[in-house]
Structure 1
Amino acid sequence: MDEQKLTVRAVERALDILLCFTESTELGLTEIASKVSLHKSTVHRLLGSLEGRGFILRDASTDKYRLGFRIWELSANLSQTDDPAIILLPEMERLRDELGETISLYIRDGKERIRIQAVQSNHPIRRVAPVGVRLPLFVGASSKILMAYSDPEVQQMILDDPDWPASIDKEAFLRQLGEIGKREVATSFEEREPGAAALAAPIFDRDNKLIAALSVSGPANRLTMEKMQEYADVVIEKARRMGKMIR
């Protein structure tokens, strides 16, 4: 392997290490090596380089690693004028205050959806919504929204995924997507996890291009099917308002 390819591979491995921290605040060397499927000696060398550049910090007392301050320096320079996660946050907070449940914003990335923003419910019992979490596109209200308004090629790619659950009938799923496309709202009731429910609506920009899925989620005993039907028009209208805020 030539020097250029080795350099690119090292960069890819370093980025894989940084991505380990999307779901964990602190990780040990063994944990990181397991997540990226590399030898500990290789990971230790890469961590040393990242630490030297300020992207990783090591706690000497616990021998655990966490993200360094250089990450926050980069994030501070994100374009706030174009980032829906920033622009729409005040409206999400207002919707949370109105409905009392957790509000999330999802986008599609390949065969998964990513939560790019979340406002937690004020109820003592609530669904915790970590930003950055990746979820499959075949279950959940937001997944259905992102699928319903995707191109047929994208839909077929998801349907052909080897990880598609055998328990979900593809033809019935496509029919459901057609209905969602007409109504601009999707619901899920204990589909992804027991005791959880959600409804979602699409956010379009002024060119009618799908930006994200706006989701309301909570415990199924509180966010019942009847309650979701009651909330549907509110969520649809809020999603339309959000779309007008995006350039």
Structure 2
Amino acid sequence: MSLKTLDNSLELLKYFTEKNTAWGVRELAKEMNMSHSIVYRILSTFEKHGFLIQNPDTKKYELGLKFWEYGQLVQEKFRLLDLIHPIMERISEETGESIFLTRLDGMEGVCADIAESSQMIKYAVSVGTRTPLYAGASNKTIMAYLPKEKQEAIIQEGLNPMTDKTIVDADKLVSELAEIREKGWCFSVGEYSESVFALTVPLFNWKKEIIASLAMAGPEYRVNDMDVPEMLKILQRECSEIQNYFDRYRITHI
């Protein structure tokens, strides 16, 4: 398919609106100022793949079930985020720290949602913030579950320090990633932001591929080694509920 054909095909779909839900070949060709034969080929192709159906009585084309299926996927995705946020709020209230949902996007982590701590002093970033996958617990947890070739590609891009505690030695990073994957969680202090701790667990899509991480983060002075096991228990308990949503709705990405 040429780019011109693709462009025409996508443009054609825009004519199916709430006001005009069905089109005949000739009337649509006239509306679009396009060749009747081209419009017919496009409509037939969409019909073949289930995106359009032809009404047997009127012979006009209408939107097909494929669009309904995709619409359901989008709807469930946004509903899913609505379901996740109360869980994050619950963790924040129980622990007193901010909770972050970080999603995988290429070779970066992107902050997808935040449940902020109610405490005066707290760690805060903005939704949409992009961060390198090698720096900090929320990112390293995602990187740990990526295929080896993707890990190597990230390392080849360069390991630039965010702080003086960022791991920039490739061998040391690979070793730590293997440890994270074996444990199933990660704890770091000051690797991405000075004097900030983060405790993180992974989230997988229904195909068991890594797509995100859930992190608890706050000022370093508010946590010690004795706190970590209890905080981890809370995070893992609530994370299992989120994972159930991912599996139930067959989520592939956030």
2:76 match: 81
Q: Confirm whether residue 132 of structure 1 aligns to residue 165 of structure 2.
A: no
Cross-structure match for 1:13 = none
TM-score by length of 2: 0.62
Runs of 5+ unmatched residues, structure 2: 5-72, 250-254
Taking a change above 3 Å as real, the CA distance of residues 183 and 162 of structure 1, as seen in their structure-2 partners, is closer
Contact 1:120 1:129 in 2 (8 A): no
Return the letter of the residue paired with 2:85: L
SS of 1:79's partner is helix
Task: Provide the residue aligned with 1:21 in structure 2.
Answer: none
Identity value in percent: 29
Q: What is the distance in 2 between the residues matched to 1:160 and 1:154?
A: 10
TM-score (norm 1): 0.64
Offset of residue 164 of structure 1 = 4.0
Q: Paired residue for 1:107, among 103, 106, 109?
A: 103
Deviation at 1:135?
1.0
SS at match of 1:114: strand
1:197 alignment partner in structure 2:
197
Note the 1:146-165 alignment, pairs <5 A.
146-165=142-161
State the distance in 2 between where 1:85 and 1:131 align.
13
CA deviation after TM superposition for structure 1 residue 126, in Å: 0.7
Give the superposition deviation at 1:162: 3.2
Q: Is the 8 A contact 2:104 2:211 kept in 1?
A: no
Q: Partner residue of 1:50?
A: none
Offset at 1:229?
Answer: 3.2
| Distance across 1 between alignment mates of 2:180 and 2:167 | 20
Q: 1:128 to 1:183 in 2, by over 3 A?
A: same
On the 8 A contact 1:189/1:198 being kept in 2, the answer is: yes
CA distance in 1, matches of 2:90, 2:75: 19
Shift, 1:111, TM fit: 2.1
Q: Which residue matches 1:187? A: 187
Could you tell me which runs of 5 or more consecutive residues in structure 1 were left unpaired when the two chains were aligned: 5-77
Q: Cα deviations across residues 32-73 of structure 1 (Å, max 9, x unaligned)?
A: xxxxxxxxxxxxxxxxxxxxxxxxxxxxxxxxxxxxxxxxxx
Deviation string 1:178-220 (CA, Å, 9 cap, x unpaired) is 1111111101101112121101001123432223100000000
Which residue of the other structure, out of 85, 90, 97, is the alignment partner of 2:93?
97
Q: CA RMSD, aligned part only?
A: 2.2
Aligned to 1:228: 228
